[in-house]
Amino acid sequence: MLSSPIRKILKAHTYAEEPDRVTITDFHASFQGDNGDHELSYSVDGWSCTCDFSKARSYCSHSMALEKLLGPMVKAIGQKA
């Protein structure tokens, strides 16, 4: 029988392959864009980014890239978290 720490590690690997188990509700990130660094946040109100494009819209290339990276763990742009 496997020891408890090993079972936890194996379970973690299984969980990591099932991202739909996780729902991110709030986080902050720094993003190194081609034209500078930006601060992004995600909450129940959706995405926020410090770039100029995002100021006039509720999305930008940075938030769309993070949405793609995080997959099913975040709501799609336009949906509330």
Segment holding 64, helix H or strand E: helix 61-70
| Residue of the chain from 42, 62, 74, 75 that contacts Zn ion (CB under 5 A) | 62
Of 79, 49, 81, nearest in space to 65 by CA:
49
Q: What value, to the nearest 5°, has the Cα angle with vertex 25 and ends 39 and 67? A: 55
Name which of 51 and 75 has its Cβ closer to Zn ion. Answer: 51
Total of residues contacting Zn ion (CB under 5 A): 6
Q: How far is the CB of 79 from Zn ion (least distance, A)?
A: 18
Which residues are near Zn ion by CB under 5 A?
A: 38, 49, 51, 54, 60, 62
